[in-house]
Structure 1
Amino acid sequence: MAVTTPEAGRPVSWDEYDALPEDPRVEYVDGHLLVGPSPTRWHQELCIDLLTALRAALPPTHGVITAWEWRTGTDAFTPDVMVYDTAAATDERRFTGTPALCVEVLSTNRRDDLLLKMTKYAAAGLPRYWIVDPRERTLSTFALDDGAFRPTHVLRPADGAVELDLGVARLRLDVAALLAP
């Protein structure tokens, strides 16, 4: 039986998940659907601003994209922003390699980004993870260290312009401009 309307928490098989249309904002974790509402305008603007800044800093071997699915073994996530090796981008529907960086912008279900995804992303070997918190106006950066993420920065608008290590490049980012409401 195909799932046509995603229902949060409903157990589904990979085949049912894979048959979903493009439109729903759905992720597949531990055999269950994570269904989220459409992002807010500010959420989308943050993603576009990050995409623009990252694109300018990346070498030609890497791309950056918003809301493209990343398959990590048996799970499928849709990071808000993802930096990836273009040579490993062989599937148009989803990325199956390991990204250089995933960024999540917190929204209604903060638990998923702060706990579930952080744990799953670390287990999948993601080297860098960033969390933008519009409510607290912070950008928290993490680096994978011995199988778990360790915090590297908690940045606020007062920090101004900072330089961040992407692993594949360095990014000069104006935190005040990024987090301005």
Structure 2
Amino acid sequence: MAQSLEKPITFAEFIQWKPENKRYELHDGAIFEMPQPTGEHEDIVGFLAEKLILEYVRLNLPYSIPKTALVKSPSSESAYSPDILLLNRSNLVNEPFWKQESTVTMAESIPLVIEVVSTNWRDDYYKKYGEYEEIGIPEYWIVDYLGLGARKFVGNPKKPTVSIYSLVDGEYQVSQFRENDCIRSLTFPELNLTAQQIFQAVSI
């Protein structure tokens, strides 16, 4: 839900205004309150976070997954709160907004982001896609476990789909995974996971 504003606000104004314990994003100077996610959405997020944590701990990588950190766009007054934000902690010392605002802006700090699709699927497939690509985030997953996106993204007929966008020469190239397809991740090439395992993570 967008806040009614007379004029766009800056990231600095947003950070000063932003209350604790609630999730908000800034979209081109407009404040968006993030709705309370469904239980199924949280099941998927929790399952994926657990799998990634196990993998980067196994590989002894300097990664972490924060609870509410933001990703700031360099070209607009936008800041997003991904469902899963994988941080490279070794680069946080270079981040100008990390210490005070828990916000990252550099591709070197963000190996991977994941958005789990809800009813505002256009934000994930269009807006965030474009800005994550511009930042240079190497890998971006869109987990559309209900097949809500347009048919060009989830097939015809629509099916639950994991779209993984990998940065190649500054542009995202997509690979899509459905049913028993094995997920292929450049960040975690040894990850043993199928699309169906992700979709079945919802509580029964």
The alignment-based identity, stated in percent, is 27
Residue of 125, 128, 134 corresponding to 2:139: 128
Q: Of residues 42, 48, 51 in structure 2, which corresponds to 1:50? A: 48
May I ask how many residue pairs the two structures share in their alignment? 174
- 1:1-181 superposed matches below 5 A: 7=3, 11-19=8-16, 20-58=18-56, 59-73=60-74, 74-90=77-93, 91-92=98-99, 93-98=102-107, 99-136=110-147, 137-152=160-175, 154-159=176-181, 162-167=182-187, 170-180=190-200, 181=202
Q: Contact between 1:66 and 1:79, CA under 8 Å: does it hold in 2?
A: no
Contact residue 106 and residue 131 of structure 1 kept, 8 A: yes
Give the Cα separation in 1 of the matches to 2:83 and 2:68: 5
TM-score normalised over the length of structure 2: 0.75
Q: Which blocks of at least 5 consecutive residues in structure 2 are unaligned?
A: 148-159
Q: Normalization by structure 1: what TM-score? A: 0.83
- Are the equivalent residues in 2 in contact too, given 1:47–1:66 (CA < 8 A)? no
- Unaligned 5+ residue runs, structure 1? 1-5
Higher helix share: 2
The alignment partner of 1:170 has SS state of: coil
Displacement of 1:70: 1.7
Mapped contact 1:8–1:34 kept (Cα < 8 A): no
- On the 8 A contact 1:89/1:97 being kept in 2, the answer is no
Q: Secondary structure at the match of 1:177?
A: helix
Task: Give the alignment's Cα RMSD to 1 decimal.
Answer: 2.3
SS at match of 2:3: coil
From the two aligned structures, give the one with the greater strand fraction: 1
